[in-house]
């Protein structure tokens, strides 16, 4: 478990500084940079919040719930 965290920490830190790769986002930022008014798309905020929630809770679920489930199932065999 510690080895995974030691390896994952630098990768997670590096991911914070990576450039955006989504074509829609790149085009949006390019238009914003050139001063072009980009209309706000309906549902963007809700979709963003849903993705952030999934991105936060899925790893937590995997670390806490699934690990404890597998550790208990190994001890009963």
Domain-embedded: residue 6:
no
> Is 9 a member of any domain?
no
- b/e map 45-58, b = 16+ CB within 10 Å: eeeeeeeeeeeeee
pTM over 0.75: no
Q: Band the pLDDT of 72: cuts 50, 70, 90.
A: low
Total residue count of the chain as it appears in this document: 77
Q: Return all residues near 1 (Cβ < 8 A) that are at least 6 apart.
A: 67
Number of domains in the chain: 1
In angstroms, how far is CA 44 from the centroid of its own chain?
16
pLDDT at 68: 65
Range of the domain at 71: 22-75
Return d(Cα 32, Cα 39) in angstroms, integer.
Answer: 11
Q: Among 13-17, 26-30, 51-55, 72-76, which stretch is predicted with the lowest mean pLDDT? A: 72-76
56 falls within a domain: yes
Q: Tokens 């914070």 appear where?
A: 16
């Amino acid at each position: 478990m510690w080895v995974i965290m030691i390896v994952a920490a630098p990768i997670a830190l590096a991911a914070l500084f990576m450039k955006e790769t989504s074509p829609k986002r790149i085009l949006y930022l390019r238009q914003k940079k050139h001063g072009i008014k980009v209309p706000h798309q309906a549902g963007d905020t809700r979709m963003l919040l849903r993705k952030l929630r999934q991105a936060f809770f899925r790893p937590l679920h995997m670390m806490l719930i699934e690990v404890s489930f597998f550790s208990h199932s190994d001890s009963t065999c």
